[in-house]
Amino acid sequence: MSRWSELARLVIEGNELSKEDALRILNTPDIELLELLQGAYLIRHHYYRNKVKLNMIINTKSGLCPENCGYCSQSSISTAPINKYRMLDKDTILKGAEQAFQLNVGTYCIVASGRGPSNNEVDQVVSAVKEIKDKFNLKVCACLGILKTDQAAKLKEAGVDRYNHNLNTSENHHVNITTSHSYQDRVNTIELIKRTGISPCSGIIVGMKETHGDVVEMAYSLKAIDADSIPINFLHAIDGTPLEGTNELNPRYCLKVLALMRFVNPTKEIRISGGREVNLRSLQPLGLYAANSIFVGDYLTTAGQESTADHQMLEDLGFEIDVVTETIQS
């Protein structure tokens, strides 16, 4: 048994991975990569077998954001040529939900740009969610930015199952990525969501000039806030953003990051998210030996892989889509 498989056994038995071992994962020699993934897979299989959760995003409001996040094409300091529009109407959001249902997607993610939603925007989302819940048994995740207490309560009452608010990076590196809100602002939003009774979803973006130590801190910060779902984004540097031209990642390192997240957060949904196609490239299938969730379709302002290719990849791996949808109303 390799050291990584032995370490996986200890994690399954309830032992917490040390930060020293976490750092060793990121520094694993490539010759040990498959052994590392085998260890991650032992943990993943213990909790999730070979099931994969599918998620799909609809970008309900694009651009027009006052924040200065360095990775984001929708921020106030970005010059990227993206589509900019106000909140989509309910019918468009519902059509997206129907498409998600047809693709066997378990969680439909309603995302809007901005620091936080207006009360009117929350009401629009609430109206759409209620109808989605009437027609489909889709889980709904909302991602609308920093919330107020009454807004969170409205989303809960409407049937929103999950709320996404990413930590994005380590507390130490946060000021290098954005100064228009604090790291604590993000933590506070997640804690509000948890108090409201909505499942917290929070993840990171890797490849933004952070150190290996920062990535380790991200993993343990996500453990500390007890996020149920952890999306791992790999920077897709967009021209016109401050991180334009940044290219620090390779597929093997991305796999090590996914393994790290599985070892540190063994029971959680680990999702390979934005930047999967351009950073993991031909090694995408190997990522699912550590992760148990992916996005299908497009992301916010960048294109994803064809959904048919995603379904074929899962079939080739011998993995099974975790289908949780059923028609409720015709």
Give dist(CA 179, CA 200) in Å, integer. 24
Assess whether pLDDT exceeds 70 at residue 260.
Answer: yes
What is the predicted pLDDT for the residue at 179? Answer: 94
Exposure b/e, 260-276, CB count within 10 A at least 16 = b: bbbbbbbebbbbbbbbb
Nearest one of 270, 251, 253 to 212, comparing CA atoms: 253
Rounded mean pLDDT, 283-304: 80
Distance CA 206, CA 50 (A): 25
The two tokens of residue 135 are 């027609």
Q: Cβ(167)–Cβ(217) under 8 Å?
A: no
pLDDT tens-digit map of 311-328: 899 999 999 998 754 443
The structural architecture, per CATH, of the domain 46-251+265-321 is Alpha-Beta Barrel (3.20)
* Best CA proximity match to 150, nearest among 127, 123, 131: 123
Say which residue, 232 or 137, is predicted with more confidence.
Answer: 232
Calpha distance 129→131 (Å, rounded): 5
Task: For strands 293-295 and 269-272, give the pairing.
Answer: parallel
What's the confidence (pLDDT) of residue 328?
Answer: 39
Taking the model in full, what pTM does it have? 0.94
To which residue do tokens 């999950």 refer?
162
Residue 146 has pLDDT above 90, yes or no: yes
pLDDT score for 73: 87
Would you state the pLDDT for residue 226? 97
Q: Which among 204, 314, 317 has a CA at the least distance from the CA of 270?
A: 204
Confidence at residue 297, expressed as pLDDT on a 0 to 100 scale: 66
- Which residues 6+ apart lie within 8 Å of 29 measured at CB? none
Helix (H, G, I), strand (E, B) or coil at 211: coil
Could you tell me which residues come within 8 angstroms of residue 235 by beta carbon, excluding any fewer than 6 positions away? Answer: 71, 205, 206, 207, 208, 243, 246, 248, 249, 275, 279
